[in-house]
Structure 1
Amino acid sequence: MILTTFVVLLIARWYYRSRSGRCKSKEKLAGKTVIVTGASSGIGKEAAKEFATRGARVILACRNLIKARKVAAEIIGHTGNKDVFVQYLDTSNLDSVRLFCRQILRNEEHLHILVNNAGIVGPQAKQITKDGLELTMATNHYGHFLLTNLLLDRMIASGPGRIINVSSGIHVIARKINLRDLNFMASNYNPTSAYAQSKLCNILFTKELAEKLEGTEVTANSLHPGAVGTDFFSKGGFEQTWYARVVNGVLSFVVHFAGKLSSSSWLSQDRRVAKALWEVSEAEVQLRPREEHY
C-alpha cells in the first residue's frame, strides 16, 4: 500500500512538473504595496520573497507572529529589501480581520496587490469559531471575503491592482453546495469535504468579485498552485499520519510554483451560485453598509 502510494505520488510529481508553467516576467514592483496572508511558510512565504525581490513593500499577514518575524528577517536578508513587515491576522476570526484592516487603512496610503493565501485543512472533528462559522470555511473563505471587502476601496483608489485568491484543484470534489448549510450544521462534516467546499467558494467568490470590479483598474483571479511541498498538512491535525509524511516527503522536491490557464469545475462556473454565495457570505460575516465598496 505504501509503495503503491509512493509510486502514484512520484507520477503525480512528474505530471505537474511536465505541465506547469514558469514565470519569466522580470517586472519590478518598486513603489507597490503587497499583502500576503499566511506568509509564514509554504506558498505564501515564497510569494512574499518574490515580491520583496522585485522591490515591493510587503506585509506578511500571519497568525504565528514568531514564525512570521523569522521569515521576514530571512526575506530581508535574502533580498536586501528592508520594506518587509509582519502584522497579525487570523482569518478564522472576524474581529481579527476587522482590526487588521483598520490598521492597514490607517497606516498604508496605497495597496496594490492582495494575495489571499492563508488556509487550512480542517481538523478531523468539526470546530465552530466564536463567530459561529465552521473553522475551515472561516479560515479559507469567510475571512478572506471580509478582508477583501474591507480593503477594496483602498485598492480601487490605488489602482491598477490585483487580487489573487489561492484555490485548489481539490474543489472539483465538491459536486454540490448547500448555501443554507455552508458550516455543516445540518449535514455530515469531514475535513476533505469542508476543504473542497472552501476552495470552491474561493473560485465562486473570485468570479463575482471580478464582475463587481468591472470598470475599475483592479482585477481578481483565482489559481491552483499545483503540488507544492509545504507544512500544510500539519495545520490540519494530519502531521502524525504516514500518508502526510509520504506526501510531504515526495512533494518537498517541488520548490517552485507557477500555473497555466486551466478550467475549473462546472459548478464553479455557475454565475447564479456565485451571486448567491456572495449574498450568503455578506450575511455570515455581517458585512455592514459602510464596509461595501463595490
Structure 2
Amino acid sequence: MYVLYTILASLVSFFILKWLKKRRYCTDLKRLDGKTALITGGSSGVGKETAVALATRGARVVIACRDAEKAEKAVREIRLRGRSLNVAHMELDLANMASVRDFCERFLQKEKRLDVLVNNAGEEEEEEEEEDVVAYPMPSVLDWTDDGFSMCFGVNHLGHFLLTNTLLPRLKECTPSRVVTLTCSNYKYQKLDFQDLNYNLLPFFTYSRSKLANIYFTQELARIGEAKGVTAYAVHPGFVQSGWTCHYSFLFRMLMQVVMWMFFVPCELGAQTVVYCAVSEAAAKHNGGYFVDCRPATLRPFARDSGVARKLWEASERLVKLV
C-alpha cells in the first residue's frame, strides 16, 4: 500500500505542477497587415515564436540576429509556420555599439515603417541563441562587450537602449506604435547601483540588475513617447524551456531537461504575453506597465521609482554617447 500511495502522491504532485505552469494564450485576433515588426534575436526561443505569431497576423517581420546562418534557417521556418513570405533578417550585434548604429542606419534606409519593436535578444551564445544574457553561470555571462560594458548590462540594457532611441523617430512616424521589452521576475532581487552600473561579479545578481534596468527603461520610454503615440511594455515571459544548459555536462543537461519539462513553459507559451502587448488594445491602457501571463502585474515599490528611471535613462544616454 505504501508503494501505491507513493505513486498516487507522485501523480497528483505531477499534475498540480503541470497545472501551475499552465499559461494564458493571447486571444486578441487583431491583424497587423501593412505593419512592420522588428524582433531582436528572432532566430530561436521566444523571439522566433513571437516572429511566427506576428507573421501569421500579416505583419512584415524583420528579425535582427548576429549569426546570419541561424537567422536564415529561422527565416525559412518562420515563413513556413507563419504562412508568410514577408519575413527577413538583418545582422545585429548588440554587444557592439558600432554594430547597433550601423544596423539602425541600414534598417532606416531599407524599411519605411516600424510599428512594433520587440527588444527580445541578448548575447547569442556560440551554440544556442538565448532570449537574453541568462542568470546562470555560463562562461560568457561575466564577459565584457566590445565597448567595455559588462555583458549583461551592455547587451540586455544598453544595446537595446541605443537601438530603440535611434529608431524612435521612425516609431513616431508610424504611430500608434509599440515597444515591447523582455525582462524577468528576477528584477526583484537587486537594486541599481549608479556608482557601479557595470557590476560584473556574481552572474545571478548581474543578470537581475540588467532586468531591473529593462523595467526602468520601459517606464521612462513610456513617459517620453506617450505624447508622440509610442507606448512601451515590459514583459516577463515566464521561465521558458531553452538551450541555456548547452555549456554544461551531458548528465547535467539531461537532469535540467527533466526539470524544465516539469516546471518551465514551452517557448510558444512564453511568447504569448509578448504578442499580447504587441497587439492588444487592453494592453495599450497600461503604457509603461509590467506584464505576466497576458495581464498587467504589480512591481515591487522600488521598481516603480520614476526618479530612478529618469536617472538611468540619462546615465545610459551618456554611456552610449547619445548626448
Distance 1:162 1:12, change over 3 A: farther
Which residue of 2 is the match for residue 146 of structure 1? 162
What is the percent sequence identity of the aligned residues?
Answer: 38
Which residue of 2 is the match for residue 131 of structure 1? 147
Which residue of 2 is the match for residue 202 of structure 1? 214
Deviations 1:167-224 (A, max 9, x none): 11111111x2101211126xxx111111111110000000011011121211001011
Which residue of 1 is the match for residue 20 of structure 2? 15
Matched, 1:190 2:190: no
Distance 1:172 1:253, change over 3 A: closer
Q: Which amino acid aligns with 1:16?
A: K
Write out the 4+ residue segments of structure 1 that deviate beyond 4 Å after TM superposition. 7-13, 237-240
* Consecutive unaligned residues in structure 1, runs of 5 or more: 1-6, 289-294
1:41 maps to which of 6, 30, 44? 44
| Structure 1 residue 138: Cα displacement | 1.1
* Consecutive unaligned residues in structure 2, runs of 5 or more: 1-11, 122-131, 273-292
User: What does residue range 22-171 of structure 1 map to in structure 2 within 5 Å?
Assistant: 22-118=25-121, 119-121=132-134, 123-124=138-139, 126-171=142-187
Distance 1:48 1:232, change over 3 A: farther
Deviations 1:28-70 (A, max 9, x none): 1110000001111110000000010011100011112111111
Distance 1:10 1:64, change over 3 A: farther
Supply the distance in 2 between the matched residues of 1:22 and 1:60 (Cα, whole angstroms): 23
Q: Which amino acid aligns with 1:179?
A: F
- Contact preservation (8 Å) 2:65, 2:93: yes
Which residue of 2 is the match for residue 291 of structure 1? none
Q: Which amino acid aligns with 1:98?
A: R
Distance 1:31 1:283, change over 3 A: same
Which residue of 2 is the match for residue 281 of structure 1? 316
Normalising by structure 2, report the TM-score.
Answer: 0.79
| Structure 1 residue 238: Cα displacement | 5.0
Which residue of 1 is the match for residue 224 of structure 2? 212
Matched, 1:226 2:231: no
| Structure 1 residue 268: Cα displacement | 1.2
Distance 1:14 1:274, change over 3 A: same
